[in-house]
């Protein structure tokens, strides 16, 4: 007997039939003797619909009221799943974020979890054998008493945080894929599902473009050492042995992985824009005059390359921002031209970032050099490079993204993992 948190995303609860399928998954774990809390997202497409309604009502809407509206999607799903579980003879009740409560900051639409009180749910596990069906993505700011939401993908974050608060044995993330793959199978048909991935590797995969898990959920898992199991909700519930290991990927601490591959996976993102600020006077404070205003505008800067001229008097700064922030980044920099003192502003939006990730890089030399040679052999030009202990990323023309991913996937033997 264990304690599980099961999280189901929007496609898993897209209609009543799928909600009833989710109820059978939950029943399987309850019948196996587990204490179960379930975290649900809104039904597929509902959050987008609610967001559109807010924008239609007023493009400059109040963020507090926006949260009140968009949080209702998860409220509907949690109630429907509780009803479906009761129809199967399972004791269950729905919980909204404010009822636990899940206490958050007051940053509406992007709040961060501060504290979760799971004591009442744990008490009901013992007293009533009751399944808790919790609305993900939402909480409450204790100072204002207002509903808050955690940002898109926040249900994953809710689930891992609740698992930590309940001292669960594991957090199962049910989604429309059956685990984490070496890269996107739609791009590389030979991509393989990974049995285990270290938290640190998954954090890099998620932040560099892999869409399976939200970055903050992986961060929470790593901080609280909470194992996360990514698995498919579309497997037939009755075909799964609750005491066995179903298909999926376990995200866990590195110590639980016997042997690290040199490269674990290839991630990519086409949501990139490249900006070059040229012929700036090379003196202290110039970088701060560029990146300070971008930080104030909440624009995340990723890859940064600086080239100093031969005479040492001027420099060029090249960096990337999310494509969705490009217009704001351009306006922020051009409006500060007099302060920065640059001669030319260049940009390119048709670029992509390809990242190679693996804990084994720590103990193997020449991993990046192999990639550079392989890409050159394919006539793929590298615009910028960044590296960390277990990852390196290259910025290339977007037209070569798929070719680069397939080339690197084969280069590091991931076709045969």
- Enumerate the known binding-site residues for substrate: 47, 74
Within 8 A by CB and 6+ apart from 311, the residues are none
- Pairing state of beta strands 3-8 and 170-175? parallel
Distance CA 117, CA 345 (A): 51
Q: Measure Cα distances from 272 to 1, 23, 358, 360, 398 in Å.
A: 46, 40, 22, 27, 9
Q: Measure Cα distances from 32 to 29, 83, 226 in Å.
A: 5, 21, 21
The DSSP bridge partners found for residue 8 are: 40, 174
Closest by Cα among 169, 235, 121, 128 to 6 = 169
- Pairing state of beta strands 265-281 and 344-357? antiparallel
Helix axis angle for 326-335 and 286-296, nearest 10°, is: 130
Query: What is the maximum alpha-carbon separation in the chain?
Result: 79
The CA R_g of the chain, rounded to the nearest whole Å, is 23
Binding-site residue ranges: 7-10, 47, 74, 175-176, 181, 186, 211-212
Closest by Cα among 221, 188, 187, 186 to 203 = 221
The DSSP bridge partners found for residue 170 are: 4
Binding-site residue ranges for ATP: 7-10, 175-176, 181, 186, 211-212
Q: Are 305 and 384 in contact (CB under 8 A)?
A: yes
């Amino acid at each position: 007997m264990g304690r599980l948190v099961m999280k189901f995303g929007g496609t898993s609860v897209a209609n009543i039939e799928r909600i009833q399928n989710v109820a059978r998954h939950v029943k399987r774990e309850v019948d196996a003797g587990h204490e179960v809390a379930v975290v649900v997202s809104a039904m597929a497409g509902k959050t987008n619909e609610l967001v559109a309604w807010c924008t239609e009502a007023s493009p400059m809407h109040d963020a507090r009221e926006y949260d009140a509206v968009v949080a209702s999607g998860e409220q509907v799903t949690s109630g429907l799943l509780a009803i479906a579980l009761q129809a199967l003879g399972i004791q269950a009740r729905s919980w909204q974020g404010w009822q636990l409560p899940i206490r958050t900051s007051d940053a509406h639409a992007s709040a961060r979890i501060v504290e979760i009180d799971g004591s009442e749910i744990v008490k009901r596990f013992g007293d009533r054998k009751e399944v808790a069906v919790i609305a993900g993505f939402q909480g409450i700011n204790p100072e204002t008493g207002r509903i808050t939401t955690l940002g898109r993908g926040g249900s994953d974050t809710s689930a891992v945080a609740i698992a930590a608060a309940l001292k669960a044995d594991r957090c199962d993330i049910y989604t429309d894929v059956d685990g984490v793959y070496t890269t996107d199978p739609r791009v590389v048909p030979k991509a393989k599902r990974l049995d285990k991935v270290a938290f640190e590797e998954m954090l890099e995969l998620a932040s560099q473009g892999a869409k399976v898990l939200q970055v903050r959920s992986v961060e929470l898992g790593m901080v609280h050492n909470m194992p996360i199991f990514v698995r498919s909700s579309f497997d037939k519930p009755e075909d799964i042995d609750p005491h066995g290991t179903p298909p999926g990927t376990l995200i866990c601490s590195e110590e639980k992985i016997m042997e690290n591959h040199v490269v674990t996976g290839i991630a990519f993102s086409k949501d990139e824009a490249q900006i070059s600020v040229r012929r700036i006077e090379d003196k202290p404070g110039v970088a701060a005059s560029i990146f300070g205003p971008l930080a104030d505008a909440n624009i995340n800067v990723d890859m940064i390359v600086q080239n100093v001229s031969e005479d040492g008097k001027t420099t060029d700064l090249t960096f990337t921002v999310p494509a969705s922030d490009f217009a704001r980044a351009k306006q922020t920099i051009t409006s500060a031209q007099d302060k920065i003192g640059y001669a030319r502003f260049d940009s390119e939006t048709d670029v992509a970032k390809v990242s190679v990730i693996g804990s084994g890089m720590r103990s193997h030399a020449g991993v990046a050099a192999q990639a550079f040679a392989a890409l050159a052999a394919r006539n793929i030009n590298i615009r910028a490079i960044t590296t960390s202990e277990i990852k390196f990323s290259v910025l290339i023309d977007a037209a070569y993204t798929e070719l680069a991913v397939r080339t690197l996937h084969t280069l590091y033997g991931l076709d045969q993992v």
